[in-house]
Chains A and B, each alone.
Chain A
């Protein structure tokens, strides 16, 4: 039971990070039906910029928390600028092109951004300064770190903030109207290009925070980190129903839980010794409570993509996708 609870906490931490990255994919898809494959790289840039700033700040005598704060304040506007430039330079000129063109451009931008990051930050794995105090709480046999609580809390706050913007403000109404019918939105006086740019910028701000948090959580940053993270967050967005904002939140958290529980239990389930039937063959290994584990927790990354395949096969519209049917 303690392992279960521990994995739930780990899953929620991971899941809330996936959720805020997934929101970036889903918002852009909702408004221009483009899968912005470069979004993972925006997260990576957030992590890299934050790492540089946090390291410099720590080195020049900032207290650890203040250094992190400065890192966030630097990464957010930098990523927002990057998101804006992506839209302006790579996608807006292709607004009227066939859908395949911006999709391939997105993949291209992803590669370009990775290479640029490699040139700036080298191809080495960089480590975050490990000077944040580690505070652990023991709850129901699981240990929860203050960092995990901070990550979950911060992500939930950002999701609530985003929901407020999308469902309660004029900009949000314009975003939803544009997502549904850009021509009619134009007739209402909505400057559609600006709304699309705003969508990219908001997604990039979330990505910046996600990048910093992922970097601190794992203590590492690398120029390819955006690729896996991005694909997982994209899977989360598809799980929730691509284009659907609550869906991305639910999908992200579910995916985090699946991944953490999967990683926590796959070793137990694939331990051949517990099934008895193989005893004769693996006698030497299984004797005296030994084990023979086929898949360990290093298979963690597989779960996201298994989920992606299952969703695409059995419910392509995702968990919350397209609930309202349009009537004539």
Chain B
């Protein structure tokens, strides 16, 4: 599905991602954990081509190189990103936000069907479909951002810190939804500071430190690994 080779990201002279390589198979849910500033968000931005200057290496999506594609072509290749801080369009209604998720699609009937499925997954959004997205709570905005990404029928979903700034109740709900999406065979790359939650959701994980991948294993093994337990699980 996704094969990354020697990805590097620079901001000016500063390297945020120092040459990482990894691969994700179709249908997998993979977690990237690590502290603040480890380069996780930079990696996601590079994958979604939001940092056209300063990205080097190779990113293959379903076998095709995407490192030279402009961001707006990526959704055509099935790649969607739910960015850090959610990024819903605050002055658009909930329904308009979801419609933007299906912006490149022309199949009206199937869009309507997908909309029903998203609303079934997040019934509280349906009740508020005419409300401006900016008036939703943080958790609801996170759900909306997730629903909006699903409206593009992504094959690979990149999630950046979906738990950030949410109340524990909402975190639980958001991750329940992520698992439901994963169960529908959508490949998910999950970046999370909450390592325990991320590894419990994903089947395997990568640990990032200072722009490099320092550890990779199945989630079960990582959760049991003393280094991970000490550094990221607070034990």
Contacts and interface: CB of A to CB of B under 8 A. Distances in A.
B81 A327 contact: no
B117 to A, nearest CB: 18
Interface stretch (A171-179, A216-224, A309-317): A171-179
Interface stretch (B1-9, B13-21, B88-96, B225-233): B88-96
A191 interface: yes
Contacts of B137: 327
B74 interface: yes
Most buried by B among A174, A185, A327, A328: A327
A139 interface: no
B103 A189 contact: yes
Nearest to B149: A187
Nearest to A186: B71
Contacts of A177: 89, 92, 100
B89 A324 contact: no
Given A180-B89, A181-B87, A183-B50, A328 B72 contact: no
Given A188-B75, A189-B75, A325 B134 contact: yes
Given A170-B103, A183-B50, A326 B75 contact: no
Contacts of B81: 187
A327 B135 contact: yes
B104 interface: yes
A43 B96 CA distance: 33
A173 B99 contact: yes
B83 interface: yes
B9 to A, nearest CB: 16
B156 to A, nearest CB: 13
B72 A173 contact: no
A191 B134 CA distance: 24
A188 B101 contact: yes
Interface residues of B, number: 33
A176 B87 contact: no
Contacts, number: 80
A272 interface: no
Contacts of A186: 50, 70-72
A116 interface: no
B130 interface: no
Nearest to A172: B96
Contacts of A170: 103
Given A174-B103, A184-B89, A189 B134 contact: no
A327 B91 contact: no
A274 to B, nearest CB: 50
B98 to A, nearest CB: 11
Contacts of B96: 173, 176
Given A176-B91, A180-B90, A192 B134 contact: no
Interface in A139-188: 170, 173-174, 176-177, 180-181, 183-188
A176 B71 CA distance: 18
Interface string B88-126: 011110001001110110000000000000000000000
A325 B80 CA distance: 27
A266 interface: no
A70 interface: no
B104 A189 contact: yes
A190 interface: yes
A180 B136 CA distance: 16
B152 interface: yes
B134 A187 contact: no
B80 A187 contact: yes
A180 B101 contact: no
A185 B74 CA distance: 12
B76 interface: yes
A6 B8 CA distance: 69
Contact of A190 (B48, B103, B135, B138): B103
Interface in B53-83: 70-76, 80-81, 83
A90 to B, nearest CB: 22
Nearest to B136: A327
Contacts of B99: 173
Given A327-B135, A328-B165, A191 B91 contact: no
A192 B103 CA distance: 13
Interface of B: 48, 50, 70-76, 80-81, 83, 87, 89-92, 96, 99-101, 103-104, 132, 134-138, 141, 148, 152, 165
5 cross-chain pairs, A with B, having the tightest CB-CB distances, nearest first? A189-B104, A186-B71, A189-B75, A184-B87, A326-B90
Given A173-B100, A174-B103, A187-B74, 10 more contacts: A173-B103, A176-B92, A180-B90, A180-B92, A181-B87, A187-B72, A188-B100, A188-B152, A190-B72, A326-B134
18 contacts: A176-B96, A177-B89, A177-B92, A180-B91, A187-B83, A188-B100, A188-B148, A188-B152, A189-B72, A189-B75, A189-B76, A189-B103, A190-B72, A191-B70, A192-B72, A324-B135, A325-B134, A326-B90
